[in-house]
Structure 1
């Protein structure tokens, strides 16, 4: 287990600092749905979960925040396809990470240095570990 990817502060604690600030909301919720960023992180992590270091299937991972205390300083949004069976034309608004990568690599790196990939099942384990570290019921070695 890689304790370095456990956020020191949880999303609720950081939300108290930023409230409804759009730049923080973009980083927390709009980056994780960006297909360019997902592929970038998947390749950077060599198809391995940063928690357990085991490989994952192509779509068997999630983006994980190692630090929620950050804002998207690029601030641009785009629409990407997000079809469902009932709504095949559905789109979602996501952070424009690809344009940020092209035009402001410095800002892009600030974000991706706070993100990694993990198995969907490992994501919940990380949340539990963070809570146990916080309340002192778990001491990392």
Structure 2
């Protein structure tokens, strides 16, 4: 005698509900990861950077060391425009930033470019030597 048990397949409604619940749980876990705080740690707010070539090192921190899910990227904006290619790193090197005041902001975007979270904007100042002020303030 064969001792195997056979169970009928669950109804299609049950399978659809299980898929929906699994999808909602996945979305909730991604939302938690994407809601992580994103902060620009360098340059500091109101910092003056002295660099004649306009180089700026930008360092970001993600709250609790959260890791970006696959497909998510960080977008760095300088004065409201993308300043570098999107990537998953938390360090950027900007070149050729003109003298004057500038605003930086970082965004976490998904694979479709939708903004999931953003940092607070940081204003910094770029100082470059000129004939009028060759040695600095």
Settle same-fold status: TM greater than 0.5: no
Larger helix share, 1 or 2: 1
TM-score (norm: length of structure 2): 0.22
Higher relative contact order (CA 8 A, sep 6+): 1
Rg (Cα) greater in structure = 2
Q: TM-score of the superposition, structure 1-length normalised?
A: 0.21
Larger fraction in strand: 2
